[in-house]
């Protein structure tokens, strides 16, 4: 015990010696950030006061804190990567970072972290950077409260707002992202969390997963993107309490699931999407207690999907509740509320006495002949669906909800 007290006393006594503040700005000891970086030692803090600093690339190769006061501007002048971090235990907070360079052969960013751990990037404003914040081979980092806005360009000339490659245990929270190819991009990222972000008006996806496992994203808002979220070639992804809205277009989805397994989709809201959820090659997914409201398709479940459970969801005002391209049913529908259900409840237990078939004949026709959408509001389509309900012939016989709810489920979203 005495040894530990002695070590603690030494740390307290020596900390003023090695932890130094370096002040940068007009009338300060340092005029440039480069000069302060060259004189800083591990553990120091560099305080940068307001002004514009066009110093090319700022390379941080030792543990330190870079702190901006009143959002000093770091301008890459469309020539360079603005900040490159190659050391662990670095914090970057409070800067306006703009105008990074752009190359077709290299991913240039406003802030890039390479093979460094325990990095915090907080409360920065990034404008017109090819990639906003880029982490590569990084663990145990936090990206929080940043405002990352790009300029809409062609997809091949645009980077991502927050881009993570080969990372683990990353927290991405309370960021605003717009004007990029993907708002947030995860590739080979594990055990990480994405929460309370607003990702909107991006060219492709608000959030994009590739080969990323055991991650959780929740309480995020994905609106007006080319498509909301894509989760591909991943497993054990938790998707809870998010908003997917206003993702319109011929290939737009609120949520795209491709070759994903063993995941959970719970208490999300899907409103005004061309297709709220599109599933291809999805296995052992549970969708429960979600709200699907006024989408083109609520669920498009391809024949390659199996062992998925869709239960206790609310379906309101969708053009098609469920669509599929096959007749073999390998998924389960149970205890959902369907506003199209016309059955009865004689024993008044809140459960319909006859099953509901969510796939209409018209949905089958459109799946095979997309141009059939031109007839959506026609009287002929109405007659087709009524006839199919009386004598089912073309719709999947076993795709049904045996216990449809008579009233909307209270989900407390």
The ranges assigned to domains in the chain are 20-152+161-180
So what's the pLDDT on residue 256? 97
Looking at every residue in the chain, the average pLDDT score rounds to 88
**Nearest CA to 272 among 322, 208, 225?**
225
**Nearest CA to 324 among 356, 285, 291, 280?**
280
- Angle at alpha carbon of residue 206, lines to 204 and 211, rounded to 5°: 85
What's the pLDDT tens digit per position in 33-58? Answer: 999 999 999 999 999 999 999 999 99
| Least confident range of 80-84, 131-135, 358-362, 391-395 | 391-395
CATH 1.10.3980.10 fits 20-152+161-180, yes or no: no
| Reported pTM | 0.89
So what's the pLDDT on residue 12? 41
177-195: average pLDDT: 97
Whether residue 206 has pLDDT greater than 50: yes
DSSP 389-402: HHS--SS-TT--BS
pLDDT band at 10; cut points 50, 70, 90: very low
Whether residue 301 has pLDDT greater than 80: yes
Question: CB within 8 A of 198, min separation 6: which ones?
Answer: 175, 176, 177, 220, 221
What's the pLDDT tens digit per position in 260-292? Answer: 999 999 999 999 999 999 999 999 999 999 999
What's the pLDDT tens digit per position in 221-266? Answer: 999 999 999 999 999 999 999 999 999 877 789 999 999 999 999 9
So what's the pLDDT on residue 4? 46
DSSP structural state of residue 43? T
Whether residue 16 has pLDDT greater than 50: no
188-208: average pLDDT: 97
Whether residue 307 has pLDDT greater than 60: yes
Residues 32 and 329: their CA atoms lie apart, in Å, by 66
């Amino acid at each position: 015990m005495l040894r530990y007290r002695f070590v603690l006393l030494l740390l307290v006594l020596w900390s003023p010696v090695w932890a130094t503040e370096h002040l940068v700005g007009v009338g300060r000891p340092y005029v440039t950030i480069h000069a302060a970086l060259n004189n800083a030692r591990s553990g120091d803090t560099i305080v940068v006061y307001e002004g514009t600093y066009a110093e090319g690339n700022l390379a941080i190769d030792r543990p330190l804190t870079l702190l901006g006061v009143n959002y000093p501007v770091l301008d890459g002048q469309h020539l360079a990567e603005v900040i490159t971090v190659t050391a662990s235990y670095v914090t970057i907070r409070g800067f306006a970072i703009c105008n990074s360079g752009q190359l077709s052969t290299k991913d240039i960013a406003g802030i890039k972290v390479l093979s460094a751990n325990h990095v915090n990037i907080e409360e920065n404003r990034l404008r017109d950077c090819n990639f906003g914040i880029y982490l590569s081979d990084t663990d145990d980092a936090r990206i929080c409260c940043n405002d990352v806005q790009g300029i809409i360009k062609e997809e091949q000339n645009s980077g991502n707002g927050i881009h993570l490659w080969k990372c683990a245990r990353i927290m991405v929270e309370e960021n605003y992202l717009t004007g990029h190819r993907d708002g947030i991009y995860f590739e080979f990222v594990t055990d990480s969390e994405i929460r309370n972000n607003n990702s909107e008006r991006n060219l492709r996806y608000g959030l994009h997963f590739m080969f990323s496992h055991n991650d959780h994203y929740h309480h995020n808002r994905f609106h007006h993107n080319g498509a909301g979220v894509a989760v591909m070639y991943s497993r054990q992804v938790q998707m809870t309490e998010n908003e997917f809205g206003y993702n319109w277009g011929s290939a737009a989805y609120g949520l795209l699931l491709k070759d994903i397994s063993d995941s959970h989709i719970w208490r999300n809201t899907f409103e005004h999407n061309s297709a709220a959820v599109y599933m291809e090659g999805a296995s052992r997914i549970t969708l429960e207690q979600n709200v699907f409201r006024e989408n083109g398709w609520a669920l498009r479940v391809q024949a390659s999907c199996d062992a998925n459970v869709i239960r206790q969801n609310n379906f309101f005002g969708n053009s098609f509740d469920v669509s599929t391209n096959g007749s073999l049913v390998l998924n389960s529908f149970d205890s959902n509320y369907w506003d199209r259900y016309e059955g009865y409840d004689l024993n008044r237990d809140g459960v319909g006495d006859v099953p509901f078939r969510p796939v209409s004949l018209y949905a089958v026709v459109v799946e095979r002949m997309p141009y059939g959408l031109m007839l959506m509001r026609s009287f002929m389509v109405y007659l087709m669906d009524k006839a199919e309900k009386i004598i089912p012939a073309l719709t999947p016989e076993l795709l049904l909800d045996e216990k449809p709810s008579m009233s909307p489920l209270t989900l407390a979203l």
